[in-house]
Chain A
Amino acid sequence: MTQNDEIISIQNLNKWFGNFHVLRDINLSVRSGEKIVICGPSGSGKSTLIRCINRLEVHQEGDIVVNGVRLDGSLKNLEDVRSEVGMLFQQFNLFPHMTVLENCALAPMWVRHMPRHEAEALAHKFLERVRIPHQAAKYPGQLSGGQQQRVAIARALCMNPRIMLFDEPTSALDPEMIKEVLDVMVELAHDGMTMICVTHEMGFARQVADRVIFMDEGEIVEENAPEAFFSNPRSDRTKLFLSQVL
Chain B
Amino acid sequence: MAEWTPTPPRPAPASSVGFSAWARRNLFATPGDVAFTVLGAAFIIWLGNVIIDWAFINASFAGDDRTACLKPVQGACWPFIDAKLGQFIYGRYPEAETWRVNLVFLFGAVGLVPMLVPAAPFKSFNIAFLLGFYPVFTFVMLTGGLFGLAEVETTDWGGLLVTLVVAVTGIAASLPLGIMLALGRRSKLPIIRYFCIGFIEVFRGVPLITVLFMASVMLPLFLPDGVNFDKLMRCLIGVALFSSAYMAEVVRGGLQAIPKGQYEAGAALGLGYWKTTRLIILPQALKLVIPGIVNTFIGLFKDTTLVLIVGLFDLLGIVQFHFTDASWATPETHITGYVFAGAVFWVFCFAMSRYSIFMENRLSTGR
A interface residues (Cβ-Cβ under 8 A, vs B)? 54, 56, 75, 79, 82-83, 85-87, 89, 91, 93-97, 106-107, 110-111, 139-142, 155-156, 159
21 residue pairs from A and B, CB less than 8 Å apart: A56-B264, A79-B272, A82-B267, A82-B268, A83-B269, A86-B268, A87-B265, A87-B268, A89-B261, A89-B264, A93-B264, A95-B262, A95-B265, A97-B284, A97-B365, A106-B269, A110-B275, A111-B270, A141-B366, A142-B366, A159-B270
Q: How far is the CB of A40 from chain B (nearest CB, A)?
A: 21
Q: How far is the CA of A40 from the CA of B261 in the complex (A)?
A: 22
Q: Are B270 and A93 in contact (CB under 8 A)?
A: no
- Among A54, A86, A97, A141, the most chain B Cβ lie within 10 Å of the Cβ of A97
- Kindly identify which residue among B264, B269, B366 contacts A155, using a CB–CB cutoff of 8 Å: B269
Q: Are A94 and B265 in contact (CB under 8 A)?
A: yes
Q: Are B284 and A93 in contact (CB under 8 A)?
A: no
Q: Does B51 contact A (CB under 8 A)?
A: no
Q: Are A139 and B366 in contact (CB under 8 A)?
A: yes
Within 8 A of A (CB), among B265-312: 265, 267-272, 275, 279-280, 283-284, 287
Minimal Cβ-Cβ distance residue in B for A152: B265
Q: How far is the CA of A156 from the CA of B270 in the complex (A)?
A: 10
Determine the chain B residues whose CB is within 8 A of the CB of A111 once the complex forms. Answer: 269-271, 275
Q: How far is the CA of A94 from the CA of B284 in the complex (A)?
A: 12
Q: How far is the CB of B88 from chain A (nearest CB, A)?
A: 43
For chain B, give the interface size range. Answer: 20 to 34
Q: How far is the CA of A93 from the CA of B280 in the complex (A)?
A: 11
Minimal Cβ-Cβ distance residue in B for A80: B270
Q: How far is the CA of A111 from the CA of B270 in the complex (A)?
A: 6
Q: How far is the CA of A97 from the CA of B279 in the complex (A)?
A: 10
Minimal Cβ-Cβ distance residue in B for A155: B269
Q: How far is the CA of A176 from the CA of B271 in the complex (A)?
A: 33
Q: Are A56 and B267 in contact (CB under 8 A)?
A: yes
Minimal Cβ-Cβ distance residue in B for A99: B365
Q: Are A54 and B261 in contact (CB under 8 A)?
A: no
- Kindly identify which residue among A75, A82, A87, A139 contacts B365, using a CB–CB cutoff of 8 Å: A139
Minimal Cβ-Cβ distance residue in A for B264: A56
Of all A-B residue pairs in the complex, the 6 with the closest CB atoms, nearest first, are: A141-B367, A83-B270, A93-B265, A107-B269, A93-B261, A87-B268
Interface string of B241-279 (1 = CB under 8 A from A): 000000000000000000101101101111110010001
- Kindly identify which residue among A95, A141, A142, A159 contacts B280, using a CB–CB cutoff of 8 Å: A95
Q: Does B363 contact A (CB under 8 A)?
A: yes
Determine the chain A residues whose CB is within 8 A of the CB of B363 once the complex forms. Answer: 97
Q: How far is the CA of A13 from the CA of B287 in the complex (A)?
A: 41
Interface string of B313-357 (1 = CB under 8 A from A): 000000000000000000000000000000000000000000000
Q: How far is the CA of A107 from the CA of B271 in the complex (A)?
A: 7
- Kindly identify which residue among B264, B268, B269, B365 contacts A96, using a CB–CB cutoff of 8 Å: B365
Q: How far is the CA of A111 from the CA of B266 in the complex (A)?
A: 11
- Kindly identify which residue among A56, A86, A107, A139 contacts B367, using a CB–CB cutoff of 8 Å: A139
Q: Are B284 and A82 in contact (CB under 8 A)?
A: no
Minimal Cβ-Cβ distance residue in A for B262: A93
Minimal Cβ-Cβ distance residue in A for B286: A97
- Among A56, A87, A96, the most chain B Cβ lie within 10 Å of the Cβ of A96
Q: How far is the CB of A17 from chain B (nearest CB, A)?
A: 15
A96/B272 contact (C-beta < 8 A), A56-B267, A89-B265, A110-B279 known? no
Q: How far is the CB of B123 from chain A (nearest CB, A)?
A: 16
Q: How far is the CA of A54 from the CA of B271 in the complex (A)?
A: 13
Q: How far is the CA of A86 from the CA of B267 in the complex (A)?
A: 10
Determine the chain B residues whose CB is within 8 A of the CB of A106 once the complex forms. Answer: 269, 271, 279
Determine the chain A residues whose CB is within 8 A of the CB of B280 once the complex forms. Answer: 95
Q: How far is the CA of A193 from the CA of B262 in the complex (A)?
A: 25
Minimal Cβ-Cβ distance residue in A for B363: A97
Determine the chain B residues whose CB is within 8 A of the CB of A139 once the complex forms. Answer: 365-367
Q: Are B262 and A110 in contact (CB under 8 A)?
A: no
Q: How far is the CA of A87 from the CA of B261 in the complex (A)?
A: 12
Q: Are A91 and B270 in contact (CB under 8 A)?
A: no
Q: How far is the CA of A70 from the CA of B270 in the complex (A)?
A: 16
Minimal Cβ-Cβ distance residue in A for B260: A93
Q: How far is the CB of A49 from chain B (nearest CB, A)?
A: 15
Determine the chain A residues whose CB is within 8 A of the CB of B279 once the complex forms. Answer: 106, 110
Q: How far is the CA of A87 from the CA of B259 in the complex (A)?
A: 17
Q: How far is the CA of A185 from the CA of B187 in the complex (A)?
A: 37
Q: Are A97 and B287 in contact (CB under 8 A)?
A: yes
- Kindly identify which residue among B270, B284, B287, B366 contacts A107, using a CB–CB cutoff of 8 Å: B270
Q: How far is the CA of A110 from the CA of B269 in the complex (A)?
A: 10
Q: How far is the CB of A108 from chain B (nearest CB, A)?
A: 9
Minimal Cβ-Cβ distance residue in A for B270: A83
Q: How far is the CB of B360 from chain A (nearest CB, A)?
A: 13
